[in-house]
Amino acid sequence: MQDYQRDFIEFAIKQGVLKFGEFTLKSGRKSPYFFNAGLFNTGGALAKLGQFYAAAIVDSGIEFDVMLGPAYKGIPLAAATTVAMATGFQRDVPYVFNRKEAKDHGEGGTLVGAPLEGRVMIIDDVITAGTAIREVMSIIEQAQAKPAGVAIALNRMEKGQGELSAIQEVERDYNMPVVSIVSLEDLIEFLEEKGDMAEELNSIRQYREEFGIKS
Ligand code: OMP
């Protein structure tokens, strides 16, 4: 784990974004931890979050033409990340987001912002079973654009439909990489180092046995 990843986990815990307890996920799985990106809910937190995403994207070396923030949670993520790309990396990246409901007046349509064309970098919060991200892919397909990659905050490293992880299945099916600021493996390492959260660590290890992939 890199220093910035450790910083990110500390930041997420401090912000109340990363919580430990018992949570029911969208997939129905019962998880001992939950990452609620909506709680990066101040200007300062969002600015910092954007810097983490921008660093992970630049680090990945993935080339793209436009950033897509899927409604709703992806919208502030894409805005914050493009601001960080401009201020921290001198890259003025166009961004676009979708509306959940099409607008039939004014400019109309479901897309707001830059044209959705060329190679698209998708910004999202978390991938568990991969359902949400597959829905986003249809927006790109409809626009006849090309997916360049996905950047998420947390890779939960959970099983997909077969032996591969949900993320590996997404990478295979859409032929694009998924990058994350941190993964479950980093979180486990962080808790091991911390040493005072043995119970939480134990529950997460058990959960990983049931729903996780090895690495
Ligand atoms: P999948 O569609 O199963 O990949 O789940 C991803 C979505 O679940 C995310 O976009 C979130 O809306 C939500 N989620 C979290 O926000 N944080 C978590 O730690 C876990 C989930 C989840 O429900 O799996």
89 CB within 6 A, ligand 1: no
Indicate if the pLDDT at residue 91 is higher than 80.
yes
The predicted model gives 132-156 an average pLDDT of 95
Which of 30, 126, 213 has the most ligand 1 atoms within 8 A of CB, as the residue to mutate? 126
* Annotated catalytic residue 14: no
Q: What's the CATH number where 41 sits?
A: 3.40.50.2020
Q: Which segments are annotated as binding site for 5-phospho-alpha-D-ribose 1-diphosphate?
A: 26, 72-73, 99-100, 103, 105, 124-132
What pTM was computed for the model?
0.94
**pLDDT score, position 173:** 96
Under the banding of pLDDT at 50, 70 and 90, the label for residue 163 is: confident
Q: Which of 215, 207, 214 is nearest to 32 (CA)?
A: 207
Query: Six-digit token pair at 129?
Result: 């079973």
Domain that holds residue 198: 3-211
Query: Six-digit token pair at 35?
Result: 């990452």
The predicted model gives 82-111 an average pLDDT of 90
Output the CA 104–ligand 1 centroid distance in Å. 30
Q: Whose CA is nearest to atom 11 of ligand 1?
A: 126
DSSP state letters, 143-172:
TT-EEEEEEEEEE--BB-SSSSBHHHHHHH
Q: How many domains does the chain have?
A: 1
Percent pLDDT > 70 in the chain is 99
**pLDDT score, position 186:** 97
**pLDDT score, position 9:** 98
Which of 18, 24, 125, 178 has the most ligand 1 atoms within 8 A of CB, as the residue to mutate? 125
